Amino acid sequence: MSRQRIALCGLFAFNLACAGDDAATATDASSTSAATSAATVATSETTTTTDASATTTATTDLSATAATDTSTGTSADTDTDTDTDTDTDTDTGVLGWRSELYPEGWDPADERPDGRFLHDFSYAGYHNGESPLGVDLPDTIIDAVADHGADPSGQSDAGPALQAALDAAALAGGAIVHLPAGLYRVDAPLLVEASKVVLRGEGPELSRLWFTSSAGMSFKSHLTFRGALAYGPDRPLIADAAQRQRTVDLPEDPQLAPGDDVVLGWKITDPFIDEHAMTGTWKAFNGTWQPFFWRTVVAVDPIPGGVRVTLDVPIRYPAKLRDEPSVRRVSGALREVGVQDLGLADATLWADAWSQDQVHVLELDGVVDAWIRGVASYPSPGAPKEGLGAGRHLQSSGINVLRSKRVTIADAHLGFAQHRGGGGNGYLFEVRQSSEVLIRDAIGEAGRHNFIQNWGFGATGIVWLRIHSKGGVAVALDKTDLGLVGLSEFHHSLATANLIDQSRLDDGWGAVNRGDYSSGAGHAATETVLWNSFGNGLIRSRNFGHGYVIGPAPTLTIEAGLGPADAAGTAPEDWVEGPGDQRGPLIPASLYEDQLARRLGG
C-alpha cells in the first residue's frame, strides 16, 4: 500500500489503517500459537478472514531478527539528519549503530539543545524489574478440586467452589489456589480482594477457565483482583516539579514516611488545557483533579519552609503550581497477587456478545507488585459452532490494568474477540491510569486495538517489550466482521513517556491527536518511544511535544508528517531515526533491558 493511500485513510479514521494487499483485516490462526519467550515468531501471511478455531498454545519468540530484516518496504516519511555512527555491542560483539539520543555513555539527565531526550524506562514491571516474578509466593497451597470440590469436567458450574477457594486463600493471609488440569465452567464473576492470593494452573492448554456470563456484563470483568483504594488528604506542592525529577517539595508535616504509597496529580485547569491547545476538545475531566504518577516514598527530608519528598521513580511530566498539584497518600492496594498458567475464554453467542460493551476476561484494579504470566485465550465452548463468531475466544476484551503500579504481564497470548465494534470493545491488553507496567513477550491477535492505553490521564512509564500485534480490525457493524485495520494505540488522553520496545507490529501503532473521538481524547500521547520496531504494519507517530521512532525496520510504513488532521498541534515533527544508511542492527536491541542493566549496575 502506498504512503499516499495510507495518508488519505488517516484523514478519515484516526489510528486506523486502510486494508489493502499488504494489510489484511484479520489473521489466519489455523496453526497453533501461544506466548512464551523462547521459540520462533510466527510469520504466516495475514488474510481477509479470521480462523479462531485453533488454540493459542505454541511458542513464539518476538526478539528474533528485529533489526536485521532487510526486505524491501516503505521507508520513513521523515528521517532525522543525524551523525549516527556504527558501533559494536560490547556484550555480543555485533557491529551495528547507536541512536544519537542513546550514546554508549548515555545518562538519564542527557538532553539535546532542542529539548529532546529519552526517559529512563527501566522502572517498569513487578518490583520495578528488580526481582523475578512471584518472589514472595505464599507457602500455603489450596487445591480447588480436592479441597473445595470444583468440577474440572466443564459439566457443572465450578464458580462457587473457585470463589470459596479464593476466599479461603484470603482468610489464610495469602495462598496459591491451584487448578489441576481440567475445564472449569464459571457462571458468575470471580472476585479477589486480598493480598498474596495467586491463582495458578498447570498451563494454558491444561487448566482452562470458561466464563459463561453475558447478560448484564457491560463494563465488568469475569475475574477481578481489586484493591479498596483510599486516599489521604491533599498535600499541595510548594514548588513546581520538573519532568525527570525524583523529588517534590511539600509543606511541613505532610504525614508521609518512607514506604508510603502515594499518587501525584493535578487539576485539568483551563491553563493546562490551553497549553495543550485542547480547548473545546478535552471535556470529560476538566476542572477535576486527576492522578498522574503512582509512586512510593523513599525519603522525607526537611528544607526551609517544608519538606522534600524523594520518590522511587522520576516524574515524567512537569507538575506546575498553576494546576494545583498535590500528593495524596494511597492505602488499600492489593500486593503480591498473580494469575499464571491458565487458559481463559468467555466468547458466547454473537448477538449476546454484541449486546454488551467492555467485557474483560481478567482485571487488575488497585494492585501493586502484581503479575500475570503464561495465560492464553482458547476457543470458547460457548462460541457458535458455525457462522459469525465461530471458534472465537473472547466476547470483547482481554486483560485490563487500572489504578495500579509495578505490574508485569508476561508470556501471554490473547485473541479472537467477537465484539470489535465501537464503545471500547476488542481491547486485548489494556492499561488505564497506571504507572510502570511491563507487558512483555505477548501476542495480541484479532482484536480491535490489541494493545492499548485507554481512558483518562495518568498512564505513564508503560513498556511493551517484544510484543506482537497482528490482525487488529475495527468492525463497524454487528452483522459483519469486516472493517478497517485497527492499530494498537494510545487512546485517551496524554499518555506520558511510554515505550514500545523491540516489537513486531503487523497492523501497527498509533500516537496521534485523536480530536473529538472517544469523548474528546485529543492528544493521546507525549514522549512516546518506538524502539527497534519491525513487521509489516504502520507506525503513526504524532505526539504532543516530542515523540521518537528509532530504528524501525524498512518493512514498516512510518507517518510522522504534520499535514493530516491527526497531527494538529503536534509540532515539531516526531524524531525518526532510520531506516537509512545505518549499518547493521540498532544497538542495543532492547532499550528497556539496557536501561535496566545500567540502573542495576549490570
Q: What is the pLDDT of residues 427-437, one digit of tens each?
A: 999 999 999 99
Please report whether residue 544 resides in a domain: yes
On whether both 500 and 535 belong to a single domain, the answer is yes
- What are the CA-CA distances from residue 209 to residues 149, 205, 206, 265, 399 (Å)? 15, 11, 10, 38, 14
Residue 35 pLDDT class (50, 70, 90 cuts): very low
- Identify the CATH number of the domain in which residue 455 sits: 2.160.20
Are the CB atoms for 178 and 203 separated by under 8 Å? no
pLDDT of 602: 64
Helices (H), 458-572: 517-520
Residues 213 and 293 in one domain: no
What's the rounded Cα separation, in Å, for the pair 599 and 590?
A: 14
Domain span at residue 157?
95-104+118-228+334-383+404-599
**280, 304, 323 - which closes a domain:** 323
Digit-coded pLDDT (tens) for 310-331: 999 999 999 999 999 999 999 9
Query: Domain count of the chain?
Result: 2
Instruction: Tell whether 136 and 158 lie within a shared domain.
Output: yes
Give the predicted TM-score (pTM) of the model: 0.88
CA 429, CA 375: separation in Å to the nearest integer? 12
- What cell was used for 601? 549496575
- The verdict on 409 and 439 lying in the same domain is yes
- The C-alpha atoms of residue 446 and residue 47 are separated, in whole angstroms, by 11
| Residue from 126, 47, 121, 60 nearest 467 by CA | 60
Q: Is the distance from CB of 62 to CB of 468 less than 8 angstroms?
A: yes
Residue 380 has pLDDT above 50, yes or no: yes
Of 303, 323, 343, the last residue of a domain is 323
Is 351 part of a structural domain of the chain? yes
| Residue 404 neighbours by CB distance under 10 Å | 26
In a domain, 75, yes or no: no
Look at residue 78 in the predicted model and tell me its pLDDT: 39
- Grid cell, residue 265, equals 496529580
- In-domain check, residue 6: no
The pLDDT assigned to 92 comes to: 61
pLDDT digits (tens, 9 = 90+) for 42-83: 323 233 334 454 444 433 333 333 333 322 233 333 343 444
Q: Which residues, at least 6 apart from 277, have a Cβ–Cβ distance to it below 8 Å? A: 568, 569
In a domain, 527, yes or no: yes
Beta bridge partners of 329: 262
199-222 as b/e, with b when 16 or more CB fall inside 10 Å?
bbbebbbbbbbbbbbbeebeeebb
Cα(445)–Cα(420) distance, integer angstroms: 12
Average pLDDT value over all residues in the chain: 87
Q: Is the domain of 459 the same as that of 426?
A: yes
Return the percentage of the chain with pLDDT > 90, whole number: 81
Give the residue carrying C-alpha cell 492528544. 523
Are residues 278 and 348 located together in one domain of the fold? no
Nearest to 355 by CA among 419, 292, 303: 419
> Is 587 a domain residue?
yes
What CA–CA distance (Å, rounded) separates 329 from 337? 21
Same-domain check for residues 359 and 492: yes
CB 358 within 8 A of CB 423: yes
Residue 440 resides in a domain: yes
pLDDT at 62: 37
Instruction: Please indicate whether residue 391 or residue 18 has the higher confidence score (pLDDT).
Output: 391
Does residue 51 lie within any of the structural domains? no
Residue that terminates a domain, selected from 323, 342, 363: 323
Nearest-Å Rg of the Cα atoms of the chain is 23
Residues 372 and 413 in one domain: yes
> What is the rounded CA–CA span in Å between residue 492 and residue 271?
19
Once rounded to an integer, what is the mean pLDDT over residues 496-510? 98
Find the distance separating the first CA and the last CA of the chain, reported in whole Å.
Answer: 43
Nearest 5°: CA angle at 418, between 415 and 424? 85
Counting beta carbons within 10 angstroms of the beta carbon of residue 343, is it exposed (0 to 12), middle (13 to 18) or buried (19 or more)? buried
- Whether 274 and 317 share a structural domain: yes
Residues 171 and 243 in one domain: no
Residue 579 pLDDT greater than 60, yes or no: yes
Give me the phi and psi of 531, to 5 degrees please: -115, 125
Q: What is the average per-residue pLDDT within 4-19?
A: 35
Q: Are residues 434 and 480 in the same domain?
A: yes
* Residue pLDDT, tens place only, 91-108: 666 689 999 999 999 999
Q: Of 478 and 332, which is predicted with more confidence? A: 332
What's the mean pLDDT in 33-40?
32
CA distance 456 to 256: 27
Residue 584: its pLDDT value, please?
84
Element (H, E) at 490: strand 488-490
Residue-level pLDDT at 114: 96
| CB-based contact 551:578 (threshold 8 Å) | yes
Mean pLDDT of all residues in 226-240: 97
Identify the residue with better confidence: 28 or 181: 181
pLDDT confidence of 38, banded at 50, 70, 90? very low
pLDDT at 578: 85
Task: Specify the pLDDT at position 87.
Answer: 67
Both 271 and 357 in one domain: the answer is no
